[in-house]
Amino acid sequence: MIRFGIAGFGLHAVKRLMPGFACARNCTVTALTRRDPERARASAREYSIAHAFTSTGEMCACPDVDVVFVATPDALHLADVLEAARHGKHILVEKPMAMNADQASQMVEVARAAGVLLGVAHVMRFEASVRWFRERVASGAIGKPVLARAAFVAPLLNSARTWINDPTLATGGPLADIGVHCFDTLKYVLNDDVHSVMAQAHYDQHWSVEASGTTLFQFNGGTLATMSVSARAPYQTLLEVTGEDGILSAVNALNVEHLVILEHRRGFDIAERREVTNAHAYTSQVEAFAAAVESGQPFEVPGEVGLSNQRILDAIFRSVKSGKVENP
């Protein structure tokens, strides 16, 4: 049984991580950190977690922790990862991995030198809907992909995660917070990497970071893809891949709470229609990381993937400023 400590036990841990761990067969949560000691102890009591700490360093020194799950604000990821690696703990870090590619590169190098496993929590790679897209594209069901698009919008203006509007703590607004989900999913589904990006963003009076954004990607294989994100709209996601012989599409493809209807169309005809649930994605993610730790095998979303995505994010924000095509 692999024992996790969650650094930054906040809304995400309560809403997503703990329900995932509750169903996991090969791992459990034995420790947590919160800045307020009383809240840390209260959360530990509520979720029957053995150890409560106020810092990542204290938690890393605990012998009952094998893996540190870094769920702190983006700007704290680097220090938390370095601390965990110094203590010889394996690390699963939330997305976006860091504030920039230089920080992400440091994480990869330090974890490698320490001989610990470093993974990035791109949970959508563990969703049944996303894997259906990847499998259909790989099988040639729609021929060569020529276009793709992903969208993710959510009403984040009044989010309890108030730090996402603080540019000293957040990598960016929705381009970083939920946009990274979109383009990582596109990379995974297409089994391809991004050659160039061109991005625009809209800012309003409510936030210091961007409120909405869109990006055009050119993939190495020639596929053109778009990503649209906003923190100012009711929740919805979209995923679509157009190939020379058909189209794969799903509204709300990336959600974990409601059933997803997947469609494979050829012209006006439906070749396949399937209903799936992504409810077990968070469980699958931590089970996969625990299995990698137990077996000594690589995790399927290693730190190098997070570094690649961080370079893409950096290019997106450069493009927003320059108004030009940028390369990761």
Q: What is the pLDDT of residue 258?
A: 97
Question: Could you give the CA distance from residue 66 to residue 3 in angstroms, rounded to a whole number?
Answer: 5
Together in a domain, 93 and 196: no
Together in a domain, 259 and 130: yes
CATH number at residue 42: 3.40.50.720
Residue 110: enclosing H or E segment and its boundaries?
A: helix 101-114
Which tokens hold the place of 48? 């029957």
Question: Could you give the CA distance from residue 123 to residue 301 in angstroms, rounded to a whole number?
Answer: 9
Together in a domain, 261 and 132: yes
Burial 309-327 (b: 16+ CB within 10 A, else e): bbbbbbbbbebbeeeeebe
Together in a domain, 109 and 43: yes
Together in a domain, 186 and 257: yes
CATH number at residue 138: 3.30.360.10
Range of the domain at 85: 2-121+282-300
Displacement of CA 17 from its chain's centroid (Å): 13
Residue 52: enclosing H or E segment and its boundaries?
A: strand 51-53
Together in a domain, 229 and 178: yes
Which tokens hold the place of 175? 């381009």
Residue 52 near residue 31, CB atoms below 8 Å: yes
pTM for the model stands at 0.96
Q: What is the pLDDT of residue 158?
A: 87
Together in a domain, 40 and 182: no
Q: What is the pLDDT of residue 34?
A: 97
Q: What is the pLDDT of residue 58?
A: 97
Residues of the chain with pLDDT under 70: none
Which residues face 258 on adjacent strands? Answer: none
Residue with tokens 């589904």: 189
